[in-house]
Amino acid sequence: MGVMPLRLSAQIFLFLGILGCIPANTQPVEPEPLQPDLLVVVSCRKAEAHLLELQCRDSGGRLLGGPNLHAEPFHAICENAIANSVNVNPTCLAAVKTCQEINSCPR
């Protein structure tokens, strides 16, 4: 057996070895969406309902607790913020008695 067939055999073996390392399913696996914590969902919905009941408005005249400019409801914005470690303090917002007290809720 000469050097050429040995080299060719080594190359074929290497190629097959690399080919065997390629996974059969190359489609990326998408993770399941995270389910929001039930306490967060309830707190955000209570804050939304309470703010709408108070009928407070921001400096631009938009109703606090109402949807944003992209038509996303307040509870969805609240849940998303909390999921991203931004504390909007929905428990405090659900407990304020007046519009002036909203700014006293720590964030």
Per-residue tens of pLDDT for the chain, all 107 residues: 555 566 666 666 555 555 555 555 667 777 766 666 899 999 999 999 999 999 999 999 999 999 999 999 999 999 999 999 999 999 999 999 999 999 999 87
Contact predicate 23/50, CB 8 Å: no
The reply to whether 24 falls in a domain is no
Question: What is the C-alpha separation between 54 and 32, in angstroms, rounded?
Answer: 37
The reply to whether 53 falls in a domain is yes
Q: Which residue has the tokens 């489609």?
A: 27
The domain in which residue 46 lies consists of: 38-102
Scanning 1-107, the segments in alpha helix (DSSP H) are: 3-21, 38-54, 74-83, 90-93
Count of domains forming the chain: 1
Query: 57: which strand partners?
Result: 63
Per-residue model confidence (pLDDT) at position 36 = 65
The reply to whether 107 falls in a domain is no
The reply to whether 51 falls in a domain is yes
Per-residue model confidence (pLDDT) at position 30 = 73
- In this structure, the chain runs to a length of 107
The reply to whether 89 falls in a domain is yes
Per-residue model confidence (pLDDT) at position 50 = 97
The reply to whether 62 falls in a domain is yes
